């Protein structure tokens, strides 16, 4: 499949030689994390929460990766949001399982300050793999999940799930 080979080629150019791990700038301190954002597509709360963080992370020398299986990012939206268009990489039209694998590989490389992935429900094993990859790559990973319509009828507010050892 062309898209799958595209992301494999993209991630094969990792900055870290095979067999070595990425060390966070402050030795021994874990800076990477994975968070899950469950949102309603009819509310702009995600944009209000996420854009300032992405703007700040965009000031780093590393890239911002968007793994969007079905959507295509708009260059004009990126410019309006004041995100660094020249540092944004997007992979779209890949299968949900390939998206999980791509997110793990991207987090591990250390080439990305943040990886946003629109993913299906994850197993605990997938969640642990992504958390470990974020720590090793010193990166932030956001699992983006639109709220299903039947969930929206039972809830009156958007949900933000933060999985972090700081809060447990």
**Could you read off the pLDDT of 44-103 as tens digits, one per residue?**
777 788 999 999 999 999 999 999 877 788 899 899 999 999 999 999 888 877 889 999
Q: List C-alpha distances in Å: 113 to 55, 147, 154.
A: 11, 26, 35
DSSP state of 87: G
Domain residues for the domain of 162 are: 36-167
58 within a domain of the structure (yes/no): yes
142 within a domain of the structure (yes/no): yes
Q: What is the mean pLDDT of the chain?
A: 76
3-state secondary structure of 92: strand
113 within a domain of the structure (yes/no): yes
162 within a domain of the structure (yes/no): yes
The answer to whether 81 and 51 have CB atoms below 8 angstroms apart is yes
CA distance 79 to 132: 32
The residue ranges of DSSP E strands in 18-157, in sequence order, are: 33-39, 63-68, 88-92, 112-118, 140-146
On the question of pLDDT at 7 being above 90, the answer is: no
Looking at residue 42, its pLDDT comes to 79
106 within a domain of the structure (yes/no): yes
User: What CATH number should be reported for the domain holding residue 99?
Assistant: 3.40.50.300
The answer to whether 130 and 34 have CB atoms below 8 angstroms apart is yes
2 within a domain of the structure (yes/no): no
**Higher per-residue confidence, 157 vs 88:** 88
CA distance 140 to 160: 15
**Higher per-residue confidence, 22 vs 133:** 133
Looking at residue 117, its pLDDT comes to 92
Domains: count for the chain: 1
**Higher per-residue confidence, 16 vs 125:** 125
């Amino acid at each position: 499949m062309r898209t799958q080979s595209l992301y494999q080629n993209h991630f094969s150019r990792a900055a870290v030689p095979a067999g070595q791990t990425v060390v966070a700038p402050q030795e021994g301190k874990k800076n990477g994390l994975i968070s899950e954002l469950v949102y309603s597509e009819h509310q702009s709360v995600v944009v209000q929460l996420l854009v300032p963080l992405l703007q700040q992370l965009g000031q780093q020398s590393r890239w911002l990766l968007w793994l969007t299986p079905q959507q295509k990012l708009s260059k004009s939206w990126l410019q309006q949001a004041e995100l660094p268009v020249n540092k944004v990489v997007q992979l779209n039209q890949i299968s949900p399982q390939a998206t999980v694998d791509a997110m793990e590989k991207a987090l591990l490389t250390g080439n990305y300050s943040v990886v946003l992935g629109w993913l299906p429900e994850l197993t605990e094993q997938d969640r642990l793999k992504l958390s470990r990859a974020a720590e090793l790559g010193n990166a932030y990973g956001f699992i983006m999940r639109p709220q299903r319509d039947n969930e929206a009828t039972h809830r009156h507010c958007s949900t933000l799930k933060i999985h972090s050892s700081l809060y447990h």
